[in-house]
Amino acid sequence: MAVITYREALNQALREEMRRDPDVFLVGEEVGAYQGAYKISQGLLEEFGEWRVRDVPIAELGFTGLGVGAAMVGLRPVIEFMTWSFALLAVDGIVNAAAKLRYMSGGQFKIPITFRGPSGAANQLAATHSQALDAWYAHIPGLKVVAPATARDAKGLLKTAIRDDDPVVFLEGELLYATKDDVPEDESFLIPLGASDIKRSGNDVTIVAHSRPLHTALKAAEILQEQHGISAEVIDPRTLRPMDIDTILESVGKTNRCVIVEEGWPVCGIGAQIVDDIQREAFDELDAPILRVTGADTPQPYARNLEQIALPQADHIITAARRVCYQE
């Protein structure tokens, strides 16, 4: 094990997979000479050369199409978007091509492509650069959607995503790049897609959170225990499609209460799907209504004080947990 940053873990995953498989290559804006807008690709151009670490123009739909074509003929492209907000320009390539070609070809084409880059809010990047579009991509049949919250999960899940024969949308929390975690140095380290992880055990309420809000949920869980005597179990789905709902249902069966946290907007969000799964499969286990803590239903503000109000905070989660435990 080594304590490294989320950024370094992604770099390790890319480097290890590119060494292991010569069909893996990286394409994106500034991934080569500049070594990545967030330095995820640092050192890769020097090791693998410009044919496998390829700088491209600011044309998201164009280089997405390049990647889909390469995947159709057996290569394993990794497409980096400078932000998932910019990937809106490439939605046709992701949704109408990558997600559907295996189905429309009757299985004649595999599409082993990974789309990755920063997602969600950073610090005062305002409305068009701060969007958590997780639910958009999880809505699409044919896509797998991953949103790791820790450096360990980022490495293991990215390696698995690159090896997968289907298109994977890999959402990296923009404010997570500098966070640190114990990460296995073993190059065979993989985390399967579709497996939730219990980040904290508890008995009184289940809190489900992914990506950056997971860290907020863990902070809230500590305060709930110390100040309110509430033992919260915190679950990270890690993969949003396919989602391991069984682990969540098992936890709700134990705690009988649930709070779901996400950075995205409330309408048709990831949390809404989880609520539906729980009420269908575990309704009789519930002792209180399920509550959701989400981003505000508004474009992301630029002003720092308003930005904080618009994002899920620990006190929002604490209030929701106390309500389902009938302390408020």
Report pLDDT digits (tens) over 245-291. Answer: 999 999 999 999 999 999 999 999 999 999 999 999 999 999 999 99
Q: Which helix (H) or strand (E) holds 9?
A: helix 6-20
Domain tally, the chain: 2
Would you say residue 189 lies in a domain?
A: no
**In a domain? residue 306:** yes
Active-site residue identified among 60, 80, 174, 307: 60
Model confidence at 221: pLDDT above 90:
yes
Residue 91 sits in a domain whose CATH number is 3.40.50.970
Q: Is the pTM of this model over 0.75?
A: yes
In a domain, 191, yes or no: no
Show which of 183, 211, 230 is a domain's final residue. 183
- Is 60 part of the annotated catalytic residue set? yes
Q: Determine which helix (DSSP H) or strand (DSSP E) holds 212, and give its type and residue range.
A: helix 212-228
Q: Are both 154 and 257 inside the same structural domain?
A: no
Parallel, antiparallel or unpaired: strands 197-200 and 232-236: antiparallel
Checking if the pLDDT of 122 tops 90, the result is no
Same domain, residue pair 13 and 74:
yes
Catalytic residue among 129, 210, 215, 316: 129
Question: Do 108 and 176 have their domain in common?
Answer: yes
The average pLDDT across 172-187 equals: 95
> Residue 64 — pLDDT band, cuts 50, 70, 90?
very high
Same structural domain for residues 52 and 80?
A: yes
Instruction: Say how many Å lie between the first and final Cα of the chain, rounded.
Output: 43
Q: What percent of the chain has pLDDT over 90?
A: 95
Give the rounded percent of residues in the chain with a pLDDT score beyond 70. Answer: 100
Does one domain contain both 99 and 43?
A: yes
User: Which of 74-78, 80-84, 120-124, 226-230 comes out lowest in average pLDDT?
Assistant: 120-124
- Please say if the pLDDT value at position 204 is more than 90: yes
Can you give the pLDDT at residue 87? Answer: 95
Which residues span the domain enclosing 59? 2-183
Torsion sign, CA atoms 112, 67, 119, 292: negative
Annotated catalytic residue 129: yes
Asked whether residue 172 falls in the same domain as residue 204, the answer is: no
Give mean pLDDT, residues 313-328.
96
Neighbouring residues of 108: CB distance < 8 A, sequence distance ≥ 6: none
Task: Tell me, yes or no, whether 188 lies in a domain.
Answer: no
